[in-house]
Amino acid sequence: MRYVLTRLGMLLATMLLVSFLTFAAFEAVSGDPARNLLGTEATEEQVMALREELGLDRPFLLRYAEWLAGFFSGNLGVSYSYRQPVGKLIGPKLEISLCLSLMSFVMIAVISIPLGIFSYHRTGGFADWPRTVFNQLCMAVPPFFTGILVSWIFGILMKVFTPGDFPGFRQDFGESVRHLFFGAVCLGIPRIAMTVRMLRATVIEEMNKAYVRTAISRGHDRRGVLTSHVLKNSMVPVVTFLGQTLAELVGAGIVVEQVLGIPGLGRFLVLSISHRDYPVVQTIVVILAFWVVLAGTLADLINQSIDPRLRLGGNRG
């Protein structure tokens, strides 16, 4: 119970802090939403009138307080650029981004855990160095490049999906999911490589520990020790890492969304920042903060069930 309360408090504090910082950051950087909306032909009077209409002429703290009050009463505000309620605009983007991130996450977990263990088995073998090189390569490719590669191979050569033609869930669910699948691949590749490397390193470290030697000297076979003891002990850092991955995935889609033409949250965030569309940016940022805390909490809970020592709130190691 106490744990839940602490977590909730943390969540609230994070969201408050992040939203305030975003608000303050916008105050600090130049750029005026009114001028942005009215473009280059507007007169000074028009800019002033619109600033007043949007309430931008009022003090910063007052605006923040109002936004906060609105947020807690379920009113996310109206987008400056689109003159539509923020909730209505963000809903469909959130659906897409969540689907993309979860697909990517499942892919990362399902592929990297077995692959990490498999790659431990092969340590020092003949095929070790090309695999290490390949692993490094996968980690190093920037997402826009993976995006172009994947679109090129699967979209243009193999015609499995059509980059730039995302139909939307309501129009064609299957095609949309297929489209997102390739986005998930682009997001997944470097993270799979990282997770594999990490798991492998942890397993190697764990296998060199005294208890493993003892177990093997007592006649257990290597594989048995690996599956029944080492794996469980190696999981804690990996789960933590996966938690972080899950947290960053929602925001990480920006580049991939742009290259593959997926209308997700990341793209919307970038655009809204450049338009100085505060209500939209604020809401997206709060959603991302919520997501990060949520992912962290999930990782924590799983780790506690793996390693009961963590439940007491004591330090590890």
Under the rule (CB under 8 A), what is the footprint of other proteins?
A: 29-33, 35-47, 49-50, 53, 81-84, 89, 92-93, 114-115, 118, 131, 134, 137-138, 144-145, 147-149, 151-153, 155-157, 159, 162-166, 168, 258-261, 263, 267-268, 271, 274-276
Phi-psi region of 219 (alpha: psi -120 to 50; beta: other; left: phi over 0): left
- Of 240 and 258, the one with the shorter C-beta distance to other proteins is 258
Q: In whole angstroms, how close is the CB of 101 to other proteins at the nearest point?
A: 18
- Of 35 and 63, the one with the shorter C-beta distance to other proteins is 35
Cα–Cα distance measured from residue 216 to residue 221, given in angstroms and rounded to the nearest whole number: 6
Q: In whole angstroms, how close is the CB of 52 to other proteins at the nearest point?
A: 9
- Of 13 and 133, the one with the shorter C-beta distance to other proteins is 133
Q: In whole angstroms, how close is the CB of 80 to other proteins at the nearest point?
A: 10
Pure H helices in 55-85: 60-72
Q: In whole angstroms, how close is the CB of 240 to other proteins at the nearest point?
A: 24
Sign of dihedral through CA atoms 61, 67, 71, 74? positive
DSSP class of 165: -
Q: In whole angstroms, how close is the CB of 180 to other proteins at the nearest point?
A: 14
- Of 37 and 286, the one with the shorter C-beta distance to other proteins is 37
- Of 53 and 209, the one with the shorter C-beta distance to other proteins is 53
Q: In whole angstroms, how close is the CB of 111 to other proteins at the nearest point?
A: 9
Q: In whole angstroms, how close is the CB of 167 to other proteins at the nearest point?
A: 10
DSSP class of 310: G
| CB contact at 8 A, 151 and 259 | yes
Q: Which tokens hold the place of 290?
A: 């919520």
- Of 17 and 137, the one with the shorter C-beta distance to other proteins is 137
Q: Compute the half-sphere exposure of residue 7: CA atoms within 13 Å on the CB side of its CA.
A: 17
- Of 71 and 268, the one with the shorter C-beta distance to other proteins is 268
Q: Which tokens hold the place of 67?
A: 């936004």
Q: In whole angstroms, how close is the CB of 58 to other proteins at the nearest point?
A: 18
| CB contact at 8 A, 291 and 248 | no
Cα–Cα distance measured from residue 146 to residue 315, given in angstroms and rounded to the nearest whole number: 39
- Of 150 and 293, the one with the shorter C-beta distance to other proteins is 150
List own/partner pairs for 169-172 with CB under 8 A and 24 or more apart: 169/95, 169/96, 169/99
Nearest Cα neighbor of 119 from 237, 231, 204, 235 is 204
| CB contact at 8 A, 226 and 145 | no
* Phi, psi (degrees; rounded to nearest 5) at 167: -75, -25
